[in-house]
Chain A
Amino acid sequence: MKIFAAGAYQELLSSRRERMPQILLAVFVGMVTASSVIGWLTNQVVTSVYDRTYAAGLTTQPNPFSAVSPLYYAKNTVIYIILIGALLAIVVGVQSTIRDRKAHTFDLVLSRPVRPASYLGAKLVGLLFWVAGILALSAAISWTSIGAIVGSVLSPGDTIRLLGFYALAWLFLLPFIVLGMLTGLYSRRETTSLLVPIVTWSVLTFVVPQLGTAEHPVSLLNPVPAIASQGGVFQLANLVLGPLSLTEHFKHASGYVLGNTVGAGNPLLSLAVMVAFAVSLLVVLLTTQRDRMRSPLDE
């Protein structure tokens, strides 16, 4: 247990000291800070657009934004977690295992009575604490900025929802950290270890959802989840590929937690998909063989 805690603590320290992900971290925190303002501004405009449309007698439909919760202003954060957070998670995951392979730390640690699963688990726990710290900071920024926008402190219910959203974000980022760690372990070059998970992320974010929904790739950057096309082929594609559409499931679940039910699907299914991704990758990571960890890089 002592060794496990020491491994986790060492990883936490190393991640904090790592300079490479810090630029991504700065962009992430900056965008989380800006997202509430963007959400608020957009909401103000869209409400004015609706008011004008209604006043001109062009619609009799109710305003879809009349009773949005203050947490609606955080909806852009969802997309920044998908775009920046996931890439950050990949980079820290890759750095974690590549660092040990480069410095031959794995050789040293595994010469002691330490099981590979235990050491890798400790590293992962350290990274998860690091990510949790960043998300906690982001939650504090969101809480403060939304409070400033609405002119009052968020209610306990909204605060719990906001914390729930960031807990969901933590779960969403977990598979990307593990994926990064895995490619760091399995790739022969540092460059490949970074690029393979980034290409995988682009497939999960753009290609898989497009096949099930017929949405254009750029439209998938909208925090509002895409609706599955109703055609026979797309229904089938959505049935088969839907569970692989991790980013869309995160959008659905986040929409539910943030109280933005516009376009929200089944949150339990989305949660189950996110857990399934995390568990499957964790199993692969924790069953990594000793020899794999000791394999040298080709550079």
Chain B
Amino acid sequence: MNSLLVIARRELTDLKRTRFYLILFGFLAVVMILSVIVASLDFRVKIGDYNVYLDALRRSGSTETPPAPQLFPLQLLRGSIEYLELIGALFAIIIGYGTVAKEKQHGTLHLIFTRPVSRFAVAGGKTLAFAVAWAAVTVGVFAVMIVALVVVGNAPLQLIDLERLVLTGIIAWLYLMVWSCVAMGFAALARRASTGLMVALVAWLIVVLIIPQIGDTMDPDNQVPGGLFKSLAVAKPDEKAVMANFAGFDNVRNGLEVSSITKHFERPAFAFLGIKDQYNQQPVSDVWGSMLPYTITLTLAFLAAAAFTGIATTKRALLRRES
């Protein structure tokens, strides 16, 4: 077995044995399930409100029947996907950082390099290990979400829904890998591992929270609780007509949002799951075609992050920092 595989195997064993990581994964799964529960309860509240409204209409003698709220099961996953982009990224950083920090703290790097390990064996082995770990976690988390959808959300899933979930799972894996690779690279480069963690956390803060937050806050519809246009009693088509006059501002806002890699995960995920109305119930091939640019940029970001880790976590760099 070559050194890369040996390091990957050891890393996986460490990940399995570290209770802290298991707690993190468990926490992520719990908040994602809670989010499905909240979304399904919210849908039931909407159905209840609809029935009350319908009763009031009937009592007033109206024969009009407004359309009932429709349940699209995968839309219940919106909160869970958002947790994956916020908290999942944070945990990916912790894992990426931890994999280098433990070697620095325990002084095991010198021991590893007494063996004939190849130039990129440490970076490659560790990246391979958390690629396997994140694949297992993503499969686990998505399986849990499917169970939550069926059991709690009482939402029947079709085969096509599973296909959409698999595609979302793949891009989620890419997104989490980006963060783990970046954090590992920073932890390797920093003299003190905790400084590397701090730099990665600041990157997370800016890329995952601040940039999307600025874009979100600049959305005119978000200026009033419940939505500006809703508070002004403006219908959706009229809203679009009004906003067409502000295309320039919207382009700037959108440009800001897409400068964050988080949006390159969120947008295809929301499209595949039909959370964005324009992609809801559309053929997967059409959605795939529309989301291809985001998928490409996310893949490129992953490759860039992996390359960064490879360069930062070489034998030479690690030993130089340790000495």
Assess whether B226 is in contact with A227, with CB atoms less than 8 Å apart. Answer: yes
Q: Is A113 part of the binding interface, using a Cβ–Cβ cutoff of 8 Å?
A: no
Assess whether B225 is in contact with A231, with CB atoms less than 8 Å apart. Answer: no
Interchain CB contact (< 8 A) of A79 among B48, B217, B231:
B217
Within 8 A of B (CB), among A43-61: 45-46, 48-50, 52-53, 56, 58-59, 61
Enumerate chain B residues within 8 angstroms of A137, measured Cβ to Cβ.
none
Of chain A, the residue at the smallest CB distance from B222 is A222
Interchain CB contact (< 8 A) of B246 among A24, A49, A59, A61:
A49
Enumerate chain B residues within 8 angstroms of A216, measured Cβ to Cβ.
78-79, 82
Interchain CB contact (< 8 A) of A217 among B82, B195, B232:
B82
Assess whether B205 is in contact with A83, with CB atoms less than 8 Å apart. Answer: yes
Q: A59-B234, A227-B226, A229-B42 are in contact. Are A210 and B79 (CB under 8 A)?
A: yes
Q: Is A279 part of the binding interface, using a Cβ–Cβ cutoff of 8 Å?
A: no
Assess whether A231 is in contact with B27, with CB atoms less than 8 Å apart. Answer: no
Within 8 A of A (CB), among B206-237: 206, 209-210, 212-214, 216-218, 220, 222-226, 228-229, 231-234
**Binary contact readout B223-263 vs A (1 if CB under 8 angstroms, 0 otherwise):** 11110110111100010011101100100000000000000
A192 to chain B, nearest CB (A): 7
- What's the A-B contact tally at a CB cutoff of 8 Å? 170
Assess whether A207 is in contact with B31, with CB atoms less than 8 Å apart. Answer: yes
B72 to chain A, nearest CB (A): 15
Assess whether A221 is in contact with B234, with CB atoms less than 8 Å apart. Answer: no
Enumerate chain B residues within 8 angstroms of A13, measured Cβ to Cβ.
none
CA A262 to CA B24, docked complex, whole Å: 37
CA A7 to CA B35, docked complex, whole Å: 45
CA A20 to CA B186, docked complex, whole Å: 14
CA A207 to CA B27, docked complex, whole Å: 11
CA A41 to CA B228, docked complex, whole Å: 16
CA A214 to CA B225, docked complex, whole Å: 13
The A interface, classified by DSSP as helix, strand, loop or mixed, is helix
* Interface hit among B83-91, B110-118, B163-171: B83-91
Within 8 A of B (CB), among A276-297: none
Q: A20-B194, A234-B42 are in contact. Are A76 and B217 (CB under 8 A)?
A: yes
Assess whether A65 is in contact with B223, with CB atoms less than 8 Å apart. Answer: yes
Q: Is B41 part of the binding interface, using a Cβ–Cβ cutoff of 8 Å?
A: yes
Q: Is A118 part of the binding interface, using a Cβ–Cβ cutoff of 8 Å?
A: no
CA A41 to CA B248, docked complex, whole Å: 13
Q: Is A12 part of the binding interface, using a Cβ–Cβ cutoff of 8 Å?
A: no
Q: Is B57 part of the binding interface, using a Cβ–Cβ cutoff of 8 Å?
A: no
Assess whether B41 is in contact with A191, with CB atoms less than 8 Å apart. Answer: no
Assess whether A79 is in contact with B82, with CB atoms less than 8 Å apart. Answer: no
A59 to chain B, nearest CB (A): 4
Assess whether A191 is in contact with B224, with CB atoms less than 8 Å apart. Answer: no
How many residues of A are in contact with the other chain, CB < 8 A?
63
Assess whether B217 is in contact with A218, with CB atoms less than 8 Å apart. Answer: no
Assess whether A53 is in contact with B234, with CB atoms less than 8 Å apart. Answer: yes
Of chain A, the residue at the smallest CB distance from B214 is A38
Assess whether B48 is in contact with A231, with CB atoms less than 8 Å apart. Answer: yes
Within 8 A of B (CB), among A77-97: 79-80, 83-84, 87, 91
A248 to chain B, nearest CB (A): 11
Enumerate chain A residues within 8 angstroms of B202, measured Cβ to Cβ.
23-24, 27
Interchain CB contact (< 8 A) of B233 among A20, A61, A219, A223:
A61
CA A19 to CA B190, docked complex, whole Å: 13
B interface vs A, CB < 8 Å? 20, 24, 27, 31, 34-35, 38-39, 41-42, 44-45, 48-49, 78-79, 82-83, 85-87, 90, 94, 97-98, 101, 105, 193-195, 197-199, 201-202, 205-206, 209-210, 212-214, 216-218, 220, 222-226, 228-229, 231-234, 238, 241-243, 245-246, 249
